[in-house]
Structure 1
Amino acid sequence: MMSALAIGSLLTHVGVTAYARLSDTLQQAAVAQDLAHALRATRNQAALQQQALTFSPLEGDWGKGWRVSRERDGQLLREQRLARPTRIVASSNREVRFSQRGAPIGVGFVGITLDICQRGGPGSQHQVVLSPSGRVSLRSDEGRRCAEG
């Protein structure tokens, strides 16, 4: 009876750990999809309404969320706060600006990659990439490491 109880306890512990890891992975994938969608929507809105927009991290941290504002007067158009803070490492901490035609603008803009980092680990399975042309892509690379940020 004690052996059965010990085995049951061990299996429960393994199951809870696996569930927590799966939950984190799903949350990271959802954040990556939300971020990619928000970048695409901002680019499209800039082109459709023919107004320059700024897409920036909340409080300087992409892991807290992001906001969209008009460049002309700074009026806030949309803000998204993440329900659970996530570690997101960006290749550039700059905000992203879209022209009236929906193209990224800024001196020397070479694109930006946002790595959604694994909780408690150095890896990044999901990346959101904004190319210099304005194309937004969602990539998965399990072997990629998050830089310290």
Structure 2
Amino acid sequence: MYSGLIKYLDNETELAGVLGHEIAHADRRHTSRQLQSQYGISVLLSLLLGENQNTLVDVASSLGQLKFSRDYETEADAYSVEYLNGTNYYACDGAAGFFIKAEKEGQSATPEFLSTHPNPGSRIQNIQTKADQLGCRNRSAASSDFTTLKSSL
């Protein structure tokens, strides 16, 4: 979390959504799982292609990891919705606000299959669909504290 992100967000519910997303990465042990996966794929490719760590191994290993990263991002988005639903205070699709803003600003220029993250449009739809399933989209939290925080930065 850094001040630039706080300045970028529009309200406290979006901040709670982004925090929930980041907490989900830690809670679901995505970093540990990513390192285990990356190390295992590199070793397997080295065995299949010989002892040389050449460009083919590096490229194949990197491309294989992109899918894992997108899956982890999607999982973190879903858990963010569940975490906010448990608050009974924030609209549980808070993280979608961040992606709506990013999409409007054209931050989805990279084709999804080459990116470590799903495109914002997919993320918005997935988050809002899960929020609809849980019936927790229409909550509104006061943002006066958030506004004060944002103006102090």
TM bucket (normalised to shorter chain) is 0.3 to 0.5
Larger Rg: 1
**TM-score, normalization by structure 2:** 0.35
More RCO (CA 8 Å, sep 6+): 2
Bigger share in helix? 2
